[in-house]
Amino acid sequence: MSSLQAWVAEHKLTSIGAVWASALGTSLAVAHKWSPTVKTSLRLIHARMHAQALTLAVLSGAALLHYYDAKDKAATDDVESATPPPWLN
C-alpha cells in the first residue's frame, strides 16, 4: 500500500487524469446498460459531469493530503532544528 501511495504522490496529475478517464468510461458504460434509449449526446454530458464531480473530490483529497504532509514535514523540521548541535552536549 505504501508503494502505491508513493507512486501517487510522485505522479499526482497522472493519477488524477486516470481517475477522470476511468470515471468517464464507467459512467458511459453504466448509462448505456441501464438506459439504452437515452441519446448518446445526453449520456456524454452526464458522464462528463460525473467524471468532473469525482475529479473534484480527488483533487480536494490531494489538496488535504498535501496540506497535512507539508504540516507534518514542518513540524518534523522544527523538532530537528530545536535539538542542540552535538558539540554543545
Give the pLDDT score at 6: 80
Q: Are 51 and 87 in contact (CB under 8 A)?
A: no
Determine phi and psi for 38, rounding to 5 degrees. -75, 140
For residue 79 the three cell numbers come to 523538532
Mind listing the pLDDT tens digit for each residue in 19-73?
889 988 888 888 888 888 889 899 889 888 988 898 899 888 888 888 887 777 7
**DSSP 8-state code for residue 89:** -
Q: Kindly report the pTM of this predicted structure.
A: 0.62
